[in-house]
Structure 1
Amino acid sequence: MDDTGKVQDNGLQGQVVWITGASGGIGAALARQLAARGARLVLSARRADVLEAVKADCVSAGLAPDAVLVLPLDVIAVDSMPAAVAAVLARFGHVDLLINNAGISQRSSCLETELDVYRRLFEVDVIGQIALTKQVLPHMVSRGSGHVAVTASVAGKVGVPLRTGYCAAKHAVMGFFDALRTEMAHLGIAVTTIVPGFIRTDIARNALTGTGAPTGVADEDIDGGMDVDDCAAAILEGFASGTEEIAVGKGAEMDLLALKRNDPTGTFRLLEAMAADVVARRPS
């Protein structure tokens, strides 16, 4: 905030920002904070009613109702994306920043995870992000400017127990968007990867079991993690400073990023011990 108590826009005033996974968690927190900075918003997720509630928060934060477009979208439904992009362009004319934030996690061992669960994780967490990005990028390239971001994870840097599918998907996301950055730089398009640790959201409760059903169970690491609004503020600060890989979190999990770079073998042994402890504590 500045000395008048007003939130500074950090260059976001009037920018058109499209957020997927905007119905809750990091996506909704980003929407509220972007609204306070005067950005025009496109809010996408599967449930229109929940998106409308997020829109109401954004209007309460100071945005005019017509500055927020609620656009329900299931990122698995790739065939619906051209029409979605057309709707955004019809309302706002362009997209300045696309935040690919839709995603789902997992809590099951490889041995108990059905192949369809792996397919779903990749459809939502990888293919959906790539597909929407490919629809939006040509319009950014034609303007010679734009910014694409994706919410990855510390699990996109290290392999952790009960998340073989989630880790695989987030590693793929990191690889794709890191490579995309190299291709887009000379075209004036920025690419940012967001690497959260444990953030207090419903991601654990919504995570898939080995059969594909939601766990419906809280995770003490997630519940003890960084406040989601603090996470969103850190992400926006990273955007403003031009940070291309934004690591955000407050716990020991963030130390794994440096440990994996500096001591891969030590990281493997540490996480193997963690897996043994997790298995020992699971209900039989």
Structure 2
Amino acid sequence: MTKIKDSVVWLTGASSGIGEQLAYQLAEKGAKLILSARRMEELERVKENCKSNTVATLSLDLSDGFALVQRVKEACTFFGDIDILINNGGISQRDTILNTSLEVDRKLMEVNYFGSITLSKALLPAMVKRKKGHHVIVTSTVGIINTPYRSGYGASKHALHGFYDVLRAEHYDDNIKVSIVLPGYIKTNISYNALIGDGSPQNRMDPEQEKGMSPDKCARLIIKAIEENKQEAYIGGLKEKAGIYLKRFWPTAAATAIRKLRVT
């Protein structure tokens, strides 16, 4: 079991959606919490709404690899060494491969993949020395079964699975834990902010996203997965979970189903 109370938890993507709800629930459980995102004013709003006196904010741009290493040093000045890193920050995509520029593909990888692993790699030596640490990565069901219009997004999530599966294996004897969380459709603004082919935001809600699970419920299930040290946690509706198992056991059937999907 992973203990939340009194643990130093660093949460990225904390200014809205799943991250905002995680912040509130982690604060209620007694975590010493560091909240990060790009928008400092939104982080301060979330901090004010947390029912805790042990919450700090730290602005963070996951696309700025050089600055991230400095941010790790700053994060450790608030409450000491980081016990749990929750890599929740990221951006999505909604466009075809033909319409999507390489610059957008690179940005998706820089933010979703390199941003996350930069933080993990910077924190890892201290965790290994202490024989204590938990990396939590919020990926997506598209990290296993991807759909049209999400090529770069899905690729970045697949890459996270590859990296963190190895981190878990290499540092098992160092008591380093890794939990990969795969949300399905969650009712957040991720589809509003998703990038289209030229790099601009989509600015509309996907129909399936609109009908998705609440961020509050998703956050509760993520925290439960952390506490139980789940290696993988599938969070969402029956459709998303069924898709994962279809891909795993009947890949040809999954490929056929994906071709016929009506997605936006």
Q: TM-score, normalised by structure 1?
A: 0.90
Report the Cα distance in structure 1 between the residues aligned to 2:69 and 2:247, rounded to whole angstroms.
Answer: 39
Aligned to 1:188: 175
Distance 2:256 2:113 in 1: 28
For residues 68 and 260 of structure 2, what CA distance do their matches in structure 1 show?
A: 43
Residue in 2 aligned with 1:255?
Answer: 242
**Unmatched 5+ residue regions in structure 1?**
1-9
Measure how far apart 1:22 and its partner are.
0.7
In the alignment, structure 1 residue 14 sits paired with structure 2 residue 1: no
Shift, 1:81, TM fit? 2.1
- After alignment, is 137-146 or 32-41 more displaced? 137-146
C-alpha separation in 1, matches of 2:68 and 2:76: 12
Q: Distance in 1 between matches of 2:104 and 2:59?
A: 23
Please name the residue that 2:30 is paired with: 38
Deviations 1:115-147 (A, max 9, x none): 101000000010111111111111111211010
Unaligned 5+ runs, structure 2:
none
Match among 218, 221, 226 for residue 239 of structure 1:
226
SS at match of 1:128: helix
The residue number in structure 1 matching 2:77 is 90
Work out whether residues 198 and 251 of structure 1, in 8 Å CA contact, stay in contact via their aligned partners in 2: no
- Structure exhibiting the larger radius of gyration computed from Cα positions: 1
In 1, Cα distance between the equivalents of 2:70 and 2:93? 30
Contact 1:225 1:251 in 2 (8 A): no
1:82 Cα offset (Å): 2.7
Aligned-partner Cα distance in 2 for 1:140–1:261? 33
- Aligned residue for 1:198, secondary structure, equals coil
Superposition pairs of residues 111-150 of structure 1, within 5 angstroms:
111-150=98-137
Select 1:215's aligned residue among 202, 222, 228: 202
The CA RMSD over aligned residues, in Å, is 1.3
Match of 1:49 among 37, 41, 58: 41
Q: Name which of structure 1's ranges 122-131 and 134-143 shifts more when overlaid on structure 2.
A: 134-143
Greater alpha carbon shift after TM alignment, 242-251 vs 34-43? 242-251
8 Å contact from structure 2 (residues 12, 36) kept in 1: yes
Is the contact made by 2:136 and 2:226 (CA closer than 8 Å) also made in structure 1? no
TM-score (norm 2): 0.97
Which structure 1 residue ranges, 4+ long, deviate > 2 Å from structure 2? none
Q: Which residue of 1 aligns with 2:252?
A: 265
- The offset of 1:68, in angstroms, is 0.9
The percent of aligned pairs where both chains have the same amino acid is: 41
Structure 2 CA distance for aligned equivalents of residues 21 and 28 of structure 1:
8
3-state DSSP of counterpart to 2:117: helix
Question: Counterpart amino acid of 2:260?
Answer: A
Quick one: distance in 2 between partners of 1:80 and 1:111? 33
For residues 184 and 76 of structure 1, the distance between their equivalents in structure 2, rounded to whole angstroms, comes to 26
Per-residue CA shift, 1:92-131, capped at 9, x if unaligned? Answer: 1111100011110000000111110100000001011111
Letter in 2 for 1:48: M
The answer to whether the Cα contact below 8 Å between 1:160 and 1:271 also exists between their aligned partners in 2 is yes
**Inter-partner Cα distance in structure 1 for 2:48 and 2:238:** 32
Distance 2:75 2:117 in 1: 18
